Amino acid sequence: MLFTAVILFFMGIDFFYNNVIEKIFCTEKICSSSNTYSIITVGTVIGLLSGILANGGGIFFVPTYVLLFRMEIKEAIATSLLTVAVMSVPGSIIHYHLGHIYLATSAAMGIGVAPMAYIGARMDIKTKSKTIKLLFGVLLISFSIYFFISELRV
């Protein structure tokens, strides 16, 4: 989790400070390459991380789509949603069989999440990309700090 916290922190800083890290670390060859092998490799790594951390992967996909595959933030978010929907099925099935899923809690959460996700998507259409990048950066920084502090307490 410490490693995840550090990665999320730097990704958040990158979004927050207008792609500073991308300008330093990304070469045209790496960043503009979106061939099948690189996409599969990135998907494999993110899939493994998402399986270990039991999350949908969107927190990793969005920065990857923006930084490595040069998508606009809104395209990255939308593409991530579909990817996460497909990707979450195998992990959800395994966790269900292990008894790790509270169906009542999931159903109750879904009642609030589904309509608000729709409203959020509609808001996304009206919000400037720069604002979304800033908000996503703040979110990544916040999560990374939380993960880092929670790991230090263990």
Pick the more confident residue, 59 or 26: 59
Confidence (pLDDT) at 21: 45
Q: Are 9 and 140 in contact (CB under 8 A)?
A: yes
Does the structure show a pLDDT above 70 at 25? no
Looking up tokens 């606009």 gives: 72
User: Among 24, 127, 133, 11, which residue's Cα sits nearest to residue 72?
Assistant: 133
Confidence (pLDDT) at 35: 65
Stated pTM of the model: 0.65
Segment 115-122 mean pLDDT: 91
For the stretch 64-88, pLDDT in tens is 888 888 888 899 888 888 888 887 7
Pick the more confident residue, 142 or 90: 142
Q: Are 61 and 47 in contact (CB under 8 A)?
A: no
User: Among 63, 117, 118, 58, which residue's Cα sits nearest to residue 87?
Assistant: 58
- Phi then psi for residue 57, to 5 deg, are 100, -10
Looking up tokens 């595959």 gives: 69
Segment 52-61 mean pLDDT: 76
